[in-house]
Amino acid sequence: MTTPKLMFMTLLIGVTMLTAIIGSLILSADTTMGDGIISAEKGHFPTKGAFDGNKIAAATNLPEDFEEIEIVGGLRAPTNMEFSPDGRLFVLEQAGKILIIKNGELLPTPFLTLEEVDSSAEGGLLGLAFDPQFNTNGHFYVYYTKTGDPSTNQVSRFTVSATNPDVADPRSELVILDGIPANYTHNGGQMQFGPAGKLYVTTGDAVKRSNAQSLETLAGKILRINPDGSVPDDNPFVGTPDVRDEIWAYGLRNPFAGDIDPVTGRMYINDVGRKRAEEINLGVAGANYGWPECEGECENPDFEDPIHTYSQQTGCAITGGAFYRGTQFPEEYQGSYFFADLCNGWIKRLLPDGTAADFVTEGPEIVVDLEVGPDGSLYYLLYSKSGSYTTPTEADGAVYKIQFARANRTPTAVVSARPTSGIAPLEVSFDGSGSRDPDGDPLSYTWNFGDEPAATKGVTASTLIQ
């Protein structure tokens, strides 16, 4: 859609007798508009709606022509986010709330609040997936740590309210998979539907290493189930004695994030390492990824080696995973797999040829999730701005987005006035010829002094101050 780019510039002129003069210039340039974004020098980027009170995002080094915007702040320990098929962004808070960001605004009423959630350490509400038929059946799935003795992880299906699409029916919970071992760390929790309509669920080893290699437990695995919780007939271990049929792959430590390429169907699984390496693994039915016998590349024919690793001198824990299939970024980003690290403030991308490239450097720490939005921007979820790796005492989590802004940056208004002071009544002339558009688009000018029936057009304007 072709829309004018807008920016407001106010000018305060002092005159004698304490009379104040306010001049307002609105600049517009006919071009495709992103979200009212303007660029600033030295890597500081204004938020969406830079004049509506939102804070400036933290300085982040991005590739040329990319910009970063804070969408929503004030989140309490957010752990995961997912876009629904209709474009709303759902954000999970660790203690059990699901919130909705709709049309760029955080809705005041939670979508769902779970009551019996063990959110100690790394437990809590960790995963969300929308049914492939969500638009018609309203079903969605959550992965959370259920309070108990002991607490365990489970997958439950809920249904949206019949009267309000922004609220779930809390009475609709149907547990479709439970008894997944839980602990203070290593709970996994990533969920996603594959091309065949099967639900993939990642689980951590629950701090018991032997769980990862045991096929009698659901911990340390990738599980694959039908939307109703039953087991697909083509799961690799169906019918094998003393093996859980839900298991699709195993030998994982804490697969906290990953993604499925919507074009190729390839699954990438991020597995958090212990001391040697962080891993990105290719999802393969029946694969054994080696933990705890193997971490990183082992060249053992019994284990599936990762397709990419990095040492813990480069980071501490791999988080976030998103394939880029949007249309906003340049062509070179097609098929890239974005991933982040919890500690070192960077986001990288794994190219289709297997090489890795920098994307964000010197960014914020504690990024826990990445998603590509329907607008083609890359969104990231910040657990806490304070840098706290434990449950923050303040609600300071946030959602940011990174967008390619080369074609839709906002013009900068530069206004001069003559005279700048005097005794009323005073005729003041304004000149906006110093304004510029970073994309080189032609500018149009509209002046509004608040006391005229119609705004004045043109690069210059004047008004009489009484």
- The residue-averaged pLDDT of 346-368 equals 95
Residue 163 neighbours by CB under 8 Å, 6+ apart = none
Domain ranges in the chain are 2-33+409-465, 66-404
- Distance in angstroms (rounded) separating the CA atoms of residues 81 and 92: 6
- Distance in angstroms (rounded) separating the CA atoms of residues 211 and 207: 8
Distance of CA 60 to the CA centre of its chain: 16
pLDDT band of 448, cuts 50, 70, 90: confident
Per-residue pLDDT at 408: 61
Structure tokens at 254: 């804490």
Long-range contacts of 240-245 (CB under 8 A, 24+ apart): 240/215, 242/215, 242/216, 243/215, 243/216, 244/215, 244/216, 244/217, 244/218
Which of residues 33 and 72 earns the better pLDDT score?
72
Residue found by looking up tokens 């992965």 in the block: 143
Per-residue pLDDT at 413: 82
pLDDT over 50 at 282, yes or no: yes
pLDDT over 60 at 176, yes or no: yes
Mean pLDDT taken over the chain: 86
pLDDT over 50 at 14, yes or no: no
pLDDT over 90 at 187, yes or no: yes
pLDDT over 70 at 410, yes or no: no
Residues 26-52 pLDDT 10s: 444 433 323 322 222 222 222 233 222
- The residue-averaged pLDDT of 282-310 equals 96
Q: How many CB atoms lie within 10 A of CB 104?
A: 15
Residues 101-141 pLDDT 10s: 999 999 999 999 999 999 999 999 999 999 999 999 999 99
Q: Do 397 and 76 form a contact (C-beta atoms < 8 A)?
A: yes
Residue found by looking up tokens 């990183």 in the block: 296
Per-residue pLDDT at 451: 64
- The residue-averaged pLDDT of 377-404 equals 90
Count, residues in the chain: 466
Per-residue pLDDT at 319: 95
- Distance in angstroms (rounded) separating the CA atoms of residues 10 and 20: 12
Entry pTM = 0.78
Per-residue pLDDT at 454: 59
- Distance in angstroms (rounded) separating the CA atoms of residues 443 and 328: 24
pLDDT over 60 at 272, yes or no: yes
Residue 320 neighbours by CB under 8 Å, 6+ apart = 257, 270, 338, 339, 340, 347, 367, 368, 369, 370, 380, 381
pLDDT over 90 at 25, yes or no: no
Q: Is the torsion defined by CA of 12, 13, 18, 20 positive or negative?
A: negative
Residue 347 neighbours by CB under 8 Å, 6+ apart = 320, 338, 339, 340, 359, 360, 363, 367, 370, 378, 380
pLDDT over 60 at 368, yes or no: yes
Q: Do 364 and 382 form a contact (C-beta atoms < 8 A)?
A: yes
The beta strand positions in 54-120, using DSSP E, are: 66-75, 78-83, 89-93, 97-102, 105-106, 112-113
**Superfamily grouping for domain 66-404:** TolB, C-terminal domain (2.120.10.30)
- The residue-averaged pLDDT of 270-293 equals 97
Residues 242-266 pLDDT 10s: 999 999 999 999 999 999 999 999 9
Which range among 47-61, 127-141, 318-332 shows the weakest confidence by mean pLDDT?
47-61
Residue 250 neighbours by CB under 8 Å, 6+ apart = 212, 213, 215, 220, 221, 222, 287, 288, 289
Residue 18 neighbours by CB under 8 Å, 6+ apart = none
Q: How many CB atoms lie within 10 A of CB 418?
A: 11
CA distances from 421 to 11, 63, 71, 459, 460 (A): 12, 44, 40, 21, 18
Write the DSSP string, 111-152: SEE-SSB--STT-SEEEEEE-TTHHHH-EEEEEEEE-STT-E
Q: How many CB atoms lie within 10 A of CB 205?
A: 29
